[in-house]
Structure 1
Amino acid sequence: MLSELLQGTDTGAVLIIQGGAVRAVIGLLHADMHQRGTVGSVCHLATSVITVAPGTKGDEAVAKITKRSKLGKVTQDEEIFSIKGDFSVTVVSKTSHAGRRQTEPEEQQMDPTANLTFNIRLSDTEREAKEKLALPFVFSKEKKTALLQSGPGSGRILYEPDANDDYDQEDPDDDLDV
């Protein structure tokens, strides 16, 4: 997947080779040209991701840099820069954030229950009715004791073997013809 993206016409790749081994792959990926899942997979595999977007002023741009170390520490930097006519880059401001990566604002605002055809939230009256409802197999203490106590009229089976019962203690399966 990564090699397909790097060989495409809309992406570029640079290999940094040191001592005969590839040490780094730097790729340019246009996120608007690929599916969101593919872009997410490439960003997950990368140790550093730089996202460039237009700034608030016409000649400025914003670069959001996310770096992951091998130990799992995530640092985020944000730089506002401008490119002059002679292609020189001037950094206007720089901020740095260390710690866990925060979710995107659009992911935080998405409500998974927004487009459901049924209501999963209970109103106050529905909640009160639910709490008053007695479930069929949950017994109260009074009902448990009434069911477990043997009262008058409860039956018992008593078996007393007589002389006609042919029961052999040594071979209980004697009558099976095996």
Structure 2
Amino acid sequence: MTAGSDHAPKKIGAAGDRFINAIEWLAALFVGIVALNIFLAVVLRKFFDTSIPDSYDFGRMLLGILIFWGIAATSYRGGHITVDLVWTAASPRMKRWIDVFATVVLLFVVTVQTATLFDKVRGTYVDHVLTYDMNIPTWPFYAVAWLGDVSAVLLIAIRTWRLIFHPELLHDEKPEMKADE
């Protein structure tokens, strides 16, 4: 090994961590936007007997955006809800192989989902689908949701690479460690 080679994983790890954090902040931002849309719609309807034009369409599309960016945010950390009876009983080496296999399968599934969602973006663009009240094109909302899915693919790819080559760079939540505390 050369003297500078120890720094390469750290630099790649730091850049990857910044990308991961940016995705998580974007997902959190979309949660805030969805909550604000719902809050404003309820307040306007209840107290002022009016509504935001296209608030239903915006809410529906923002919820889709939130779901796909949420998938991106949870895909990397490994802290989402899992059923891991076999994994819990496995040896540390077998746990790593199970994690690699599961992550590769997840990468394949989300990649196919991303390709399918791109067809939806293209279809809404070509068909010139508009919102009901203000006739705003809907394809940009679908495109932002698709970007969330693309981000999920990238984060899962980073996770896969780290699982295989640099497991020390992972930030998994380890429930077995929490139980030991």
The TM-score with structure 1 as length reference comes to: 0.18
Higher relative contact order (Cα pairs below 8 Å, separated by 6+ residues):
2
The structure richer in helix per residue is 2
The TM-score with structure 2 as length reference comes to: 0.18
